[in-house]
Chains A and B, each alone.
Chain A
Amino acid sequence: MAHFTCEVVYRGIFQKNLAARICRGIVLSARKAGRWGIAFGRYGDSPQRNGIPAKDFAIVADTQEELEQNMARYEPKEVDVTICVDDTLSKGVESWAWYGLQPINRLTISGGTLLMTSLQSPAQLLKDIHKKDVPYNLALIRAKASFSGLWVYKEDHTEARILGALARIQPEFLSLDAVCQAIKEAEWGSDLKVASARKAHERLETQPIKITEGNAEIPYSFEMPKWWEMREGVTIPAIPIGKPMEGGKGYVPERNPYFKKFTTRTMRPVIDFDKCVKCTLCWIQCPDSCFDVTPDGLYDANMEACCGCGVCEAVCPAKDCVTMVREDAFEDNASQWEMWRTDKATYKTWMTDKIHSKEHITRSHGFRFRGQYEEEIKKELESGGIEITAGIPGENAESKK
């Protein structure tokens, strides 16, 4: 193998800096062994949007010529390692209109590795990860998805751990020593991070995945029209107006057929319809118009449109009516109102289970207050987190004076 190609699939903005560090880290590590490399973001992802899946790439080669073969492209056709830093992306990637639903392992070559940070078991993950027609490996780092924002970064060592894990997966390109040296020299590096890298290298769990394993769903795709099939003047038809839901009552908007938000979500709202006071606030404040209005005046979050922002939970005045639950707790995108209408008791059980089960780990995405990430890191120690030093760059103004 004369070259090594890697993609990082991540949540736009929340993991933008993380992905950049990983890809640069790969190139800088490989450099320690005298190799050449490039790190780049995918042009079409830019500008990134909170939650929308994005990709960065790192390509490393023994020689400049081999490197050149892989440059000047928007996206490699295949990769040796797919690094997924948010396990809800195991449901797939839909980055923009006409993209379709693309499996997380789509670019992973035969015998390659899907490396994920996750607290789920492989069996749970394989309910979501689509089947692939060639075998590959699943490698897991036991950790929660690391979310930050544009300006304040959560230093939870995820990039160091990923690099340490990569050294175990592809030792002929990235030796552990080279990785540790690169981490130490990085502007975001430290001895503690080197220690995290070594631990991750040691603790990595890998298992082979057969072609029979995974989600059997056929992901949807679109065929793009030819130049003479497209209307002239850069013009496309508008979306038709929506319709009442049933019996002339309620309302279901028509939605953009070419872009769905299934894979933007890290959480989804679970609604206790019995508690709803029909204040309309969730419906009116949703920036994504995801609520279908039911004939009985309730509001049903339509999963093809919901991007999981959580504004509905924030504005709902009724206690415990809307609860954001992490996305991997769900196996389908069925309408909650339909479930409730069909069988209220079963729905209540389902709903309670989703909200309260141990599988549900509270997720947030992004900054809420200064010092928050420090607190989070402390709490995450028990679930595979790391020790921190005092103060976090970007948050702590004292260190900026």
Chain B
Amino acid sequence: MADTTFTNATQILEPFKGVKKVTIEEYFTSGHRTCQGCESALVMKLMVKAAGPRTIVLGSTGCMYVANTTYYTTPWVVPWMHTQLGSSGSAALGTAAGLKALMKKGKMKSEPINVIAFCGDGGGADMGLGAISATLTHKEYNSLILLYDNESYANTDIQLSGSTPYGANTTFSPPGSVKRIIHTRWKKNTAGMLAAGHPECRYVATVDASYAVEMMNKVRKALTIGGPTFIHSLDPCPKGWDYDPMLSHELGELAVETGVFPLYEVEDGVVRHYGKTKAIVEGRPRKPVREYLLKQGRFAHFTEEDLDYFQSKVDEMWDKWEIPGVIPFWKERPGN
């Protein structure tokens, strides 16, 4: 008879103490049709390496669905299922609720199974934001929603999303002779927004695969802490950002070192910057954003004006925000 002792416990995944202690097994293996140097593929690999074999992954439509399974194939070792573009929140919630119902009623052996749903910036921060928000209010279900942000709708050949940086070249914002900058929107602050908006969600974090061990440890923490959790990963994209694939790792580091992408976690309401971001908060000078932007073909059309504007917005994040890099609330405005 099925074991009916149900506790809603999570797996206890201790942080890896250094890169040599990292799990050797691959739960997302070779043979996927991703671009050379695809950081999102690296994120998938690290995500399930951190999670381990007792994991179910739900993947919403996007590069990490299409490129990985083109065609009628898979690189996944753990169970994986496709879900709709805006459904990462629903998929996490439904899978977790299904498992919980069956285990509580003795219809399935009771054990903590990781439920991870991933989404891209388009599917997650745009279309699926509502569903993610709903899931983050359900503290009775354990899940991790991981948003891999390559700053575009990449799978449809690079269109701008609400997470695309100001002025970037995409097929919906091509620089032309009359309009050089079509995309004047500033990037949504997704992780901060979700942390601020869901007080019962115990864990929200930003990660960068260039800092692989830290990224994996954030995943492990999210899966261990219980309830719904959210991680936002910035993924340099050689195709959409237009750069030599071997620069992927370097760009991931520059994003953090210039302050463009802050690394932090919000655990039970406590904000902690970490890694190179922590150094920046403690006073280390940020590298100028142009070092990061001009290595990417998608900004090749930028003038000095554009670069200055971009720098000024990043400066605001660090110099003016109440919680630097996390929430855009100012203590006071100049002139008030």
Is residue B169 within 8 Å, beta carbon to beta carbon, of the partner chain?
yes
B278 to chain A, nearest CB (A): 22
Q: Do A251 and B24 have beta carbons less than 8 Å apart?
A: yes
Residues of B within 8 A of A313 (CB): 246
Hey, which chain A residues are within 8 Å of B39, CB to CB? Answer: 287
Q: Are B245 and A285 in contact (CB under 8 A)?
A: no
Interface residues of B in 19-36 (CB under 8 A from A): 19-20, 22, 24-36
A280 touches B19 (CB 8 A): yes
Residue B53 at the A interface, CB < 8 A? yes
Interface contact A242-B36, CB-CB below 8 Å:
no
Nearest-CB residue, chain B, relative to A302: B30
Min CB distance A310 to B, Å, is: 3
In the bound complex, do residue A314 and residue B31 qualify as a contact, i.e. CB atoms below 8 Å apart?
no
Q: B238 contacts which chain A residues (CB < 8 A)? A: 50, 309, 366
B97 beta carbon closer than 8 Å to chain A? no
Q: How long is the Cα–Cα vector from A280 to B25 in the complex, in angstroms?
A: 14
Question: Is the Cβ of B30 less than 8 Å from the Cβ of A52?
Answer: no
A212 at the interface (CB under 8 A from B): no
Q: Is the CB of B37 within 8 A of A255?
A: no
Q: Specify which chain B residues have a CB less than 8 angstroms from the CB of A367 in the assembled complex.
A: 242-244, 295-297, 300
CB atoms of A238 and B73 under 8 A apart? no
- Cβ of A369: which chain B residues have Cβ within 8 Å of it? 294-295
Q: Are B37's CB and A395's CB within 8 A?
A: no
A314 adjacent to B36 (CB under 8 Å): no
B77 at the interface (CB under 8 A from A): yes
Contact B245 A370 (CB under 8 A): no
What sequence of 0s and 1s flags, for each residue 163-177 of chain A, a beta carbon within 8 Å of any chain B beta carbon? 000000000000000
Interface positions, chain B 180-228, Cβ under 8 Å from A, are 180, 209-210, 212
B298 (CB) vs chain A CBs: closest residue: A151
Does residue A260 face the partner (Cβ distance < 8 Å to B)? yes
Q: Is the CB of B239 within 8 A of A150?
A: yes
**Stretch of A30-38, A41-49, A189-197 on the interface side:** A41-49
Out of B35, B74, B175, B300, name the residue touching A256 (CB < 8 Å).
Answer: B74
B28 CB to closest chain A CB, in angstroms? Answer: 7
Determine whether the beta carbon of A256 is less than 8 Å from that of B80.
Answer: no
Question: Among A121-129, A201-209, A288-296, which stretch is in contact with chain B?
Answer: A288-296
Residues of B within 8 A of A254 (CB): 29, 77
Tell me if B70 and A97 are in contact (CB < 8 A).
Answer: yes
Taking a contact as CB atoms under 8 Å apart, the answer to whether A366 and B249 are in contact is: no
A281 within 8 A of B: yes
A394–B24 Cα gap in the complex (Å)?
Answer: 44
Q: How far is the CA of A279 from the CA of B20 in the complex (A)?
A: 8
The answer to whether A315 touches B53 (Cβ under 8 A) is no
From B80, which residue of chain A is reached at the shortest CB distance?
A238
Interface membership of B104, Cβ < 8 A: no
User: Would you call B76 an interface residue if the criterion is a C-beta within 8 Å of the partner chain's C-beta atoms?
Assistant: yes
Residue B273 at the chain A interface, CB threshold 8 Å: no
9-residue interface stretch from B125-133, B150-158, B316-324: B150-158
Q: Which chain B residues lie closer than 8 Å to A74 at the CB level?
A: none
C-alpha spacing A258/B33, complex, angstroms: 11
B269 on the interface (CB 8 Å rule)? Answer: no
Residues of A within 8 A of B302 (CB): 397
**A51 vs B73: C-alpha distance in the bound complex, in angstroms?**
19
Known: A238-B76, A370-B294. A255 touches B239 (CB 8 A): no
Q: Which B-chain residue is minimally distant from A225 (CB atoms)?
A: B72
Chain A positions 346-372 with a Cβ under 8 Å from a chain B Cβ:
364-370
Question: Are the C-beta atoms of A259 and B31 separated by less than 8 Å?
Answer: yes
Task: Pick from B36, B180, B295: contact of A50, CB below 8 A.
Answer: B36
Please give, as numbers and ranges, the residues of chain A lying within 8 Å of B240 by CB-CB distance: 150
Q: State the Cβ distance, B57 to closest chain A Cβ, in Å.
A: 10
Where chain B touches its partner, the secondary structure class is loop
In this complex, what residue of B is CB-closest to A237?
Answer: B74
Contacts of A241 in B (CB 8 A): 25, 27, 53, 77
Q: Is the CB of A311 within 8 A of B248?
A: yes
Q: How many A-B residue pairs have CB under 8 A?
A: 219
CB within 8 Å for A309 and B246 given contacts A287-B45, A290-B30: yes
Contact of B34 among A260, A287, A314 (CB under 8 A): A287
Identity of the chain B residue whose Cβ is nearest the Cβ of A241 in the assembled complex? B77
Chain B neighbourhood of A307, CB < 8 A = 36
Q: A314-B249, A367-B243 are in contact. Are A49 and B67 (CB under 8 A)?
A: yes
- Indicate if B144 sits at the interface (CB-CB under 8 A): no
Asked if A261 is an interface residue, CB under 8 A from chain B, the answer is yes
Q: Contact: A289 with B246, CB < 8 Å? A: no
- Tell me which residues across on chain A come within 8 A of B157, comparing CB atoms: 46-48
Given A242-B26, A242-B29, verify A314-B246 contact (CB < 8 Å).
yes
Rounded to whole Å, the gap between the CB of A300 and the closest CB of chain B is: 13
Contact of A395 among B66, B158, B300 (CB under 8 A): B300
Name which residue of chain A comes closest to B66, CB basis. Answer: A47
Q: Once the chains bind, are A259 and B33 in contact (CB under 8 Å)?
A: yes
Contact yes or no, B25 A368, CB < 8 A: no
Minimum Cβ distance to chain A for residue B51 (Å): 14
Q: CA–CA, A148 to B37, complex, Å? A: 16
B242 and A309 contact, CB distance less than 8 A: no
Q: Does the CB pair A279–B19 fall under 8 Å?
A: yes
CB atoms of B71 and A394 under 8 A apart: no
Q: Would you list which residues of chain B between 54 and 85 have a CB under 8 Å from chain A?
A: 66-67, 69-80
When distances are taken between beta carbons in the complex, the residues of chain B under 8 Å from A259 are 31-33, 73
Structural contact, B71 and A97, CB atoms closer than 8 A: yes
Which chain B positions have C-beta within 8 A of A239?
A: 29, 31, 74-77
- Which 8 A-B pairs have CB atoms at the shortest separation, nearest pair first? A256-B31, A310-B246, A97-B73, A305-B30, A50-B35, A309-B36, A149-B242, A366-B244
Known A13-B35, A314-B249, A400-B175; 9 more pairs at CB < 8 Å: A46-B157, A50-B38, A150-B239, A241-B53, A241-B77, A242-B26, A261-B30, A370-B294, A394-B297
19 contacts between A and B (CB under 8 A): A47-B157, A50-B38, A96-B33, A97-B69, A97-B70, A236-B72, A236-B73, A238-B77, A238-B78, A251-B25, A256-B32, A256-B73, A258-B31, A287-B248, A309-B248, A310-B37, A365-B244, A394-B300, A397-B303
Measured CB to CB, the residues of A under 8 A from B are: 13, 44, 46-52, 96-98, 149-152, 236, 238-242, 251, 253-261, 264, 279-281, 284-290, 293, 302, 304-305, 307-311, 313-315, 324, 364-370, 394-395, 397, 400-401
